[in-house]
Amino acid sequence: MKTDSLLIRIGLGFYLVLFFTYLLGPLVLMSITAFNSPSFPQATPWEVLTFEWFNVLYNDARIVNGIKNSFIIGFFTVILSVIMGLAGALVLTQIWPKIRATFYTIIIAPILIPGVVLGISTLVFWDRVNVMLGLPNDSFLHNGILLTVLGQSTFIASYCMLVFVARLQRYDLGLTEAALDLGATHTQAFRKIQLPFLAPAIGSASVLAFLASFENYNTTTFTFGKYPTLTIELAQKVRYGINPSISALAFIIVCLTVLFALVHEVRNRRVQLAIANGAPVGAVTSGFKLPKIFAGNPVAVVLALFVAVAVAVISYAQFYDPEPAKAIILQEKRAAQQLRIEELQRKLKDKRLQKNLKGPDIFNEGKSKIPKLEEKKQKTPFGSGIFSPNNLNKVAPGAETPAPAPKPASPFGSVFDPTNLNKVAPKE
């Protein structure tokens, strides 16, 4: 019996490790690629630590524009979905019991309907309305922001509704009745009694709605029109050629997520600690006493460490210059490349010698150059533009000359871009 439970424990531990590797491994690896210098995102082989991809990201106008659109759409989606979700939940609690199940099915259905279908139906419907009203083709009903907000709110309101239903289950209707008995109007009773009770749910529904809107792709891809959101821009980038600046963005999002999760957890634990110690919640959540939050709260310590590391990395990035290290790698690569070329040439010479021994063959002379070139192309294992076959060919003729000495490191990232390299190589 005892060995049996031990076996289960080992199995469980192994499973947990595997599971969380699957869950977090991709994110960790993607984050690593943001700091590696090759222009195709890869974690291995590791070359040089670099921060340039963050610069590339910052200067990408389409990404910045996408973020702006995402925020605009997210803002309106949150407002619309929270209002509709709240109304839906309130109606659900008091609707005629016979149609309650039907009503619930209808307002929960948007979660289950494929996002693609929601996007298409929104697009088609408002297009029809546009035709029916006889509006021109570029009327406000074809505005990408409006359509996206409407399409996304259709299902995000269902998420919000679920949050509100969960909260309303704990609401005592007697409170509203008491307020009405004391002479409050219905609106007053709602605003002063029920709304404050629902405030935390409104907060979490808003966060949920914003996140859902921000990351939605399936619906938005049909409705965005002239206003691509961040997700749309990312999808286009990922589909047609990728570079590590996307990893850099992913890294930033991962960090923000971890940060928010930690802050949330710290607050939760503080409140729990306070309740455990018998203190009123307000006493702990209002005042901010620095030393106290660390007391018995390991998450707070982790959070503080996290922030400290972030500050350290950012300040390090200010004066860190990857160019010298990059130059060394470049040199190593070239040396390896040259060795390979020399070896190839030697082999070719040997072959030619052997063939010459067998007898001169004029036709092969010409042909033999073709495989040589092709072989060289295949042998470049680096996806980066620096060593694209064209560059290689320019360098190759001067195979005897040593690799050009790296220029003195400069703070400008462009010194070592491929075009400069071409200018340098022939001179030496």
Give Cβ neighbours of residue 246 (< 8 Å, ≥ 6 apart): 41, 57, 234, 237, 238
DSSP character at residue 406:
P
Choose, by CB under 8 A, the member of 3, 23, 61, 360 that binds other proteins. 23
Largest CA distance in the chain: 115
DSSP character at residue 141:
G
Does 84 help bind other proteins (rule: CB under 8 A)?
yes
| Selected range binding other proteins among 9-17, 138-146, 349-357, 368-376, rule: CB under 8 A | 9-17
Dihedral of alpha carbons 180, 182, 187, 189, sign: negative
Kind plus residue range of the DSSP H or E element containing 170: none
Residue 47 backbone phi and psi in degrees, to 5: -110, -85
Number of residues near other proteins (by CB under 8 A)? 94
- The residue written with tokens 């973020």 in the block is 67
Does 335 help bind other proteins (rule: CB under 8 A)?
no
**d(Cα 62, Cα 60) in Å, to the nearest integer?**
6
Q: Which of residues 133-162 bind other proteins (CB under 8 A)?
A: 137, 150, 153-154, 157-158, 162
Count H helices and E strands in the chain, helices first. Answer: 20, 0
Does 253 help bind other proteins (rule: CB under 8 A)?
yes
Tell me how far, at minimum, the Cβ of 371 lies from other proteins, in Å.
20
Does 271 help bind other proteins (rule: CB under 8 A)?
no
Residue 49 backbone phi and psi in degrees, to 5: -65, 130
Q: Which of residues 369-388 bind other proteins (CB under 8 A)?
A: 381, 383
Choose, by CB under 8 A, the member of 49, 56, 67, 90 that binds other proteins. 90
Provide the β-strand partners of residue 49.
Answer: 36
Q: Which of residues 295-314 bind other proteins (CB under 8 A)?
A: 298
Dihedral of alpha carbons 208, 108, 150, 83, sign: negative
Tell me how far, at minimum, the Cβ of 47 lies from other proteins, in Å.
13
When the beta carbons of 31 and 338 are compared against other proteins, the nearer one is 31
Choose, by CB under 8 A, the member of 55, 206, 218, 368 that binds other proteins. 218
Packing angle between helix 195-215 and helix 144-168, nearest 10 degrees?
140
Does 246 help bind other proteins (rule: CB under 8 A)?
yes
DSSP character at residue 226:
T
Q: Which of residues 28-57 bind other proteins (CB under 8 A)?
A: 29-30, 33, 40-45
Does 249 help bind other proteins (rule: CB under 8 A)?
yes
When the beta carbons of 107 and 205 are compared against other proteins, the nearer one is 107
Please give the C-alpha separations between residue 150 and each of 81, 98, 116, 159, 359, in angstroms, as whole numbers: 9, 30, 14, 15, 79
Does 187 help bind other proteins (rule: CB under 8 A)?
yes
Through-space distance between the first and last CA atoms of the chain, rounded to whole angstroms: 77
When the beta carbons of 151 and 322 are compared against other proteins, the nearer one is 151
Does 405 help bind other proteins (rule: CB under 8 A)?
no
Does 285 help bind other proteins (rule: CB under 8 A)?
no
Tell me how far, at minimum, the Cβ of 248 lies from other proteins, in Å.
11
Does 265 help bind other proteins (rule: CB under 8 A)?
yes
What does the block give as tokens for 329?
């790698």
Does 195 help bind other proteins (rule: CB under 8 A)?
no
Choose, by CB under 8 A, the member of 109, 295, 301, 328 that binds other proteins. 109
Tell me how far, at minimum, the Cβ of 106 lies from other proteins, in Å.
6
When the beta carbons of 185 and 401 are compared against other proteins, the nearer one is 185
**d(Cα 241, Cα 110) in Å, to the nearest integer?**
33
